[in-house]
Amino acid sequence: MNYCHKIKYQIYSTKKDLFPVMVERLLEQLPEKVAVLRLAFFGMPPTNEEYLVRRKILKEKVLQKFGEEQPALSYVSQPPLHASLILEAHFLENSEDTDVIKYKSIDGLPYVLWENPYGRFLYAGGFQTDILEWSIAKQSIAVFEKIEALLQKEKFPIHSIIRQWNYIERITDFEGENQHYQSFNNARSDFYAKDNWPAGYPAATGIGTNLGGILVDMDAAVFTSADAFTTPIDNKLQVAAHAYSEQVLAASQHKKATPKFERAKSITAGKDRLVYISGTAAIRGEESLTGVGLEKQLHITMENIAQLTGNAHICMLRVYLKEKEDYQQSKELMDGYSLSVPISYMWADVCRDELLIEIEGIALEKGVQ
Q: What is the pLDDT of residues 154-184, one digit of tens each?
A: 999 999 999 999 999 999 999 998 999 999 9
**Statement: residue 99 has pLDDT above 70:** yes
Residue 322 pLDDT more than 90?
A: yes
For residue 93, is pLDDT > 70? yes
Cβ count near 103 (within 10 Å): 18
- pLDDT, residue 151, reads 98
Averaged over 133-149, what is the pLDDT?
97
User: What's the average model confidence in pLDDT over 20-24?
Assistant: 98
Higher pLDDT, 288 or 116: 116
More confident residue, 255 or 127: 127
Torsional sign, CA 215, 30, 79, 22 = negative
Q: How high is the pLDDT of residue 188? A: 96
Q: How many CB atoms lie within 10 A of CB 235?
A: 20
Instruction: Determine contact, residues 244/261, Cβ cutoff 8 Å.
Output: no
Asked whether the beta carbons of 320 and 326 are under 8 A apart, the reply is: no
What mean pLDDT value characterizes the chain? 92
What's the CA gap between 367 and 369, in Å, rounded?
Answer: 6
Please say if the pLDDT value at position 233 is more than 90: yes
Nearest to 80 by CA among 38, 41, 30: 41
